[in-house]
């Protein structure tokens, strides 16, 4: 019988962090422990209390 090898799971890195809302690994915003991707942040940012500022934000 072949023994099952334990897979290496790093405790840090992009693969360890996922968006709380959609589960993607790309574009994660970690500021203030948000842990949501930039796309989800654009959808729900204002309801979290963030305001658009700057020339492009309006």
**Residue 27 is part of a domain; what is its CATH number?**
4.10.830.10
Residue 32 belongs to a domain: yes
* Residue 54 domain-assigned (yes or no): no
Q: State residue 1's pLDDT score.
A: 55
Q: Greater confidence, 15 or 34?
A: 34
pLDDT of residue 40: 97
| Overall domain count for the chain | 1
Using CA atoms, how far apart are residues 16 and 57, in angstroms rounded to an integer? Answer: 31
Flag whether pLDDT at 33 surpasses 70: yes
What confidence score (pLDDT) does residue 11 get?
81
Q: Which domain holds residue 36?
A: 16-48
On the question of pLDDT at 21 being above 90, the answer is yes
**18, 30 contact by CB (below 8 A):** no
Q: What is the largest CA-CA distance in the chain?
A: 65
Average pLDDT for 22-33: 93
53 within a domain of the structure (yes/no): no
Q: What DSSP line would sit under the chain, residue for residue?
A: -PPPPPPP--SSSGGG---TTT---SSEE-GGG--EEHHHHHHHTGGGT----STTT-
Looking at every residue in the chain, the average pLDDT score rounds to 86
Q: Is residue 58 part of a domain?
A: no
């Amino acid at each position: 019988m072949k023994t099952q090898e334990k897979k290496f799971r790093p405790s840090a890195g992009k693969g360890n962090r996922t968006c709380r809302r959609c589960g993607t690994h790309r574009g994660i915003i970690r500021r203030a422990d948000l842990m949501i991707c930039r796309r989800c942040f654009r959808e729900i940012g204002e309801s979290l209390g963030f305001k658009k500022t700057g020339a492009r934000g309006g």
